[in-house]
Amino acid sequence: MNHLYDEIRVNKITPNKRQVNLTPTSIKESLPDISKYPPKVENSTENFIEIFASPHIAGKNKDGWLVDTAKDFNNANVKVNGKTVLLK
């Protein structure tokens, strides 16, 4: 163990003091208006789950994994209580 301790370096730095806001934040107020973002995967049933995600997760091409996953899920024809459920 002693040879491992030889590789540990301790740096002492001056604390960086910042103001901290302890007021509770409303998550609802911090979210954007969902009506400005139309679904990327159309639902074809009345039972669906809508997932709201940031553009870097639900974007196009290599960043569009969420949309691709929703399409794959919908193509799997998952049923709950005998009704097809889709991601939107």
Q: What is the average per-residue pLDDT within 49-64?
A: 69
What whole-number distance in Å separates Cα of residue 42 and Cα of residue 40? 6
Q: What is the average per-residue pLDDT within 7-29?
A: 84
> What is the residue type of 80?
V
Pure H helices in 6-60: 27-30, 55-58
Predicted TM-score (pTM) of the model is 0.45
Closest CA to 87 of 35, 41, 36: 41
Q: What is the average per-residue pLDDT within 2-8?
A: 78
Q: What is the mean pLDDT of the chain?
A: 79
pLDDT band at 62 (very low <50, low <70, confident <90, very high): low
